[in-house]
Amino acid sequence: MREHVFILLLLSFLILSCTNQNGKTTKVIPEKGSLNYSGPIIDMHIHAYDEQSSFSQMLGQKMDLALTGKTYLASTSMEKLREETFAKFEEHNIVKAMISHGELWYDFAPKRVIIGNNHLLSINELRQKHRDGKLDVLGEVAPNYQGLLPTDEQLTEYFDLAEELEIPIAYHMFPGGPPGGAYFMYPKIRAIQGKPLQLEEILITRPKMKIYIMHAGWPYLEDMKALMYAHPQVYVDIGVTNWVIPTKEFHYFLKGLVDAGFGKRIMYGTDQMIWVETIDDAIEAVNSASFLTEEQKEDIFYNNAARFLDFSEEEIKTHKGK
């Protein structure tokens, strides 16, 4: 008998707990961070290639990731790569993408492509591209593959150009290539080149330069927090870290930046090269971060980049369907 009374009391308590003071039943609201973001996305880190690219040698081949155990299959041609990438853009509502060598794809989606070109072109070539409307972002700038630190004198004029043209510079620090890449692929690359604080004097002398650090300075979390604290103009993208390293490690690094108060300066990126399924996993890695609220996910996927790129209110409303 006591057992029946206890069950009735428990049921009564559960019913009352779902009822507000006016007697109306309230809905159980899931935790904000558990909801997937489904709005527009700006991808600040995509690549386009032509047939002369070294990536042509890997078309149609599998790539096995040592740290995650995942396998990705590359597109079978550069034409297929473009088609499959744009299909992913449609699937995931990616309305804008900063594409290194974006002029290769611009004519196929002029409203979607943000054109990037890098430091392998001369200053005069970059100036001409800017005049021709073929340079929106100076990037991906990745001199560490050549063994250069950001403080190398060879790079000074590129930082100056970004400030002069008032366009962002997208600077790659680390990681570079696959784990152990210095032993077989990129002999001049070193992990120490990835420390974000190397940029400090460059920033101090160019306070108006717009810059974002690709891959968010992983794995140097404390350095990245220090740099962002000292220099409010610094933004980051989270490309490659959201699929090439274990999700637990990515979440640890992302949470560190968010908890430090930098959630308004983190931008989504993929670093999609020739494996288009990485776009799926990169988006899922952010959506699965239970510590992020819906608002924080929207900031990372869209709002922060829209602000960084100075989108108009009209363009933002168009993207968000308002």
Report the distance separating Cα 55 and Cα 73, nearest Å. Answer: 13
Q: What is the DSSP string of 53-87?
A: SGGGGGTT-EEE-TTT--EEE--SSHHHHHHHHHH
Instruction: Show Cβ contacts of residue 233 under 8 Å, excluding neighbours closer than 6 positions.
Output: 203, 207, 208, 209, 210, 211
- CATH classification of 34-319 is 3.20.20.140, yes or no? yes
Q: 3-class DSSP state for residue 201?
A: helix
**pLDDT tens, N- to C-terminus, the chain (322 residues):** 433 433 333 333 333 333 343 443 333 334 445 589 999 999 999 999 999 999 999 999 999 999 999 999 999 999 999 999 999 999 999 999 999 999 999 999 999 999 999 999 999 999 999 999 999 999 999 999 999 999 999 999 999 999 999 999 999 999 988 899 999 999 999 999 999 999 999 999 999 999 999 999 999 999 999 999 999 999 999 999 999 999 999 999 999 999 999 999 999 999 999 999 999 999 999 999 999 999 999 999 999 999 999 999 999 999 999 7
DSSP lists the bridge partners of residue 256 as none
Report the distance separating Cα 112 and Cα 1, nearest Å. Answer: 69
Instruction: Tell me what pLDDT residue 36 has.
Output: 95
Report the distance separating Cα 98 and Cα 116, nearest Å. Answer: 6
Q: How do the domains of the chain map onto residue ranges?
A: 34-319
DSSP lists the bridge partners of residue 19 as 25
The amino acid that residue 142 corresponds to is A
Instruction: Tell me what pLDDT residue 46 has.
Output: 98
Report the distance separating Cα 239 and Cα 65, nearest Å. Answer: 16
Instruction: Tell me what pLDDT residue 103 has.
Output: 96
CB 292 within 8 A of CB 33: yes
Question: By C-alpha distance, which of 40, 102, 49, 36 is closest to 322?
Answer: 40
Q: Exposed, middle or buried: residue 157 (CB in 10 Å: 0-12, 13-18, 19+)?
A: middle
Report the distance separating Cα 151 and Cα 139, nearest Å. Answer: 17
Sign of the dihedral through C-alpha 274, 275, 280, 284: negative
| DSSP 8-state class, residue 148 | -
Q: What is the DSSP string of 205-229?
A: T-TT--EEEEGGGTT-HHHHHHHHH
Instruction: Tell me what pLDDT residue 7 has.
Output: 36
62-64 and 71-73 as β-strands: parallel, antiparallel, unpaired? antiparallel
